[in-house]
């Protein structure tokens, strides 16, 4: 959990962000909600899942969509925004090609080569891209949420085992009289 502590230190506070006038105009008082700033298992897994889903939306403004969804669903806002940045101009081709191929396969469309794309040929190919991105985004966000939940619970179990061992060792030291400090 040291990673989350370091991350909390780097993320601006809700007071710092809610004081910004342009952010205040868009989100209003919703930024003051403590649940979108908390770092618990549910909030973190929701925030990252929302960010992954929005990263697969083939449109400008994925971060804005991630921000609104995080506020509406009570998810961690900073993590949703940061995860949405998986999608950027450098990652578009490798990120959107498999979903496009999936969408083209689902609707029975012959995929078009990247060099053959023109405004006139977009039509159904744009539909294939959106369909594939929605399917991929939903599946990956659900998988991400499940994995984060699994890892988080595993760390909690490990911490409990560590505390239990520590208590047992202290009990053994105390009962054998080796606790002479």
Burial of 73 (0-12, 13-18, 19+ CB in 10 A): middle
Q: Could you tell me if residue 13 is left (phi over 0), alpha (psi between -120 and 50 degrees) or otherwise beta?
A: beta
Q: Per the confidence metrics, is the pTM higher than 0.85?
A: no
Q: Is the pLDDT of residue 1 over 60?
A: no
Residues 46 and 74 sit within 8 Å (Cβ to Cβ): yes
CA angle 179, 180, 181 (to 5 degrees): 105
Residue 158: pLDDT band with limits 50, 70, 90? very high
Residues 46 and 75 sit within 8 Å (Cβ to Cβ): yes
Mean pLDDT, rounded, of the chain: 84
In percent, the amount of the chain with pLDDT more than 70 equals 78
The residue ranges of every structural domain in the chain are 2-176
Q: Which pLDDT belongs to residue 124?
A: 83
Residue 105: pLDDT band with limits 50, 70, 90? very high
Of 141, 3, 143, the closest CA to residue 66 belongs to 141
Q: Cα–Cα distance between 31 and 15 in angstroms, integer?
A: 8
Q: Is the pLDDT of residue 181 over 60?
A: no
Q: Cα–Cα distance between 55 and 128 in angstroms, integer?
A: 17
Higher-pLDDT residue of 136 and 27 is 136
Mean pLDDT comparison of 48-52, 76-80, 125-129, highest-scoring range: 48-52
Residue 26: pLDDT band with limits 50, 70, 90? low
Q: Is the pLDDT of residue 180 over 80?
A: no
Q: Which pLDDT belongs to residue 57?
A: 93
In the numeric block, which tokens belong to residue 124?
A: 């159904």
Burial of 3 (0-12, 13-18, 19+ CB in 10 A): exposed
Q: Is the pLDDT of residue 171 over 90?
A: no
Residue 65: pLDDT band with limits 50, 70, 90? very high
Higher-pLDDT residue of 45 and 172 is 45
| Among the ranges given (41-50, 83-92, 142-151, 170-179), the one the predictor scored with the smallest mean pLDDT | 170-179
Q: Which pLDDT belongs to residue 141?
A: 96
């Amino acid at each position: 959990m040291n990673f989350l502590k370091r991350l909390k230190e780097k993320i601006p506070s809700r007071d710092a962000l809610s004081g910004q006038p342009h952010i205040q105009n868009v989100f209003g008082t919703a930024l003051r909600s403590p649940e979108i700033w908390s770092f618990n298992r549910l909030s973190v897994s929701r925030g990252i899942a929302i960010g992954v889903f929005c990263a697969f939306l083939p449109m400008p403004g994925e971060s804005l969509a991630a921000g609104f969804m995080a506020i509406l669903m009570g998810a961690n806002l900073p993590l949703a925004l940061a995860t949405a940045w998986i999608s950027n101009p450098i990652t578009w081709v490798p990120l959107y090609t498999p979903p496009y191929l999936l969408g083209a396969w689902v609707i029975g469309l012959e995929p078009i080569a990247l060099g053959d794309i023109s405004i006139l040929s977009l039509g159904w190919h744009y539909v294939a891209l959106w369909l594939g991105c929605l399917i991929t985004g939903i599946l990956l966000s659900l998988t991400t949420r499940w994995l984060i939940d699994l890892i988080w619970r595993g760390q909690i179990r490990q911490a409990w085992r560590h505390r239990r061992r520590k208590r047992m060792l202290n009990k053994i030291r105390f009962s054998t009289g080796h606790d002479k400090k």
